[in-house]
Amino acid sequence: MEYTAIINNIEDWWVGWIEEIPGVNCQEKTRSKLLESLKIVLKEALKFNRQDALSVAGEGYEEERIAV
């Protein structure tokens, strides 16, 4: 899967957001460290969102892949 990182250098800090997932954002001193941090936080957010959805769905749920 691919996501879009919106990044900017602001006052000696690199800041970034993942466009498709609200709440996934980071700031680091270097661009490469920012991209690394965004990947880590994105993976954690996706894992958390999946766990949350499964706990709410309860038993007997179905999974369906959706392409957009």
Domain assignments of the chain as residue spans, ordered by start: 5-57
Which three-class secondary structure state does DSSP give residue 26?
A: strand
pTM of the model: 0.86
| Tens digits of residue pLDDT in 5-63 | 999 999 999 999 999 999 999 999 999 999 999 999 999 999 999 999 999 999 999 99
Structure tokens at 7: 């990044």
Name, in order, each residue with C-beta under 8 angstroms of 15's C-beta and a sequence gap of 6 or more: 7, 8, 9, 25, 26, 27, 34
pLDDT at 68: 85
Distance CA 35, CA 28 (A): 9
Structure tokens at 31: 């661009």
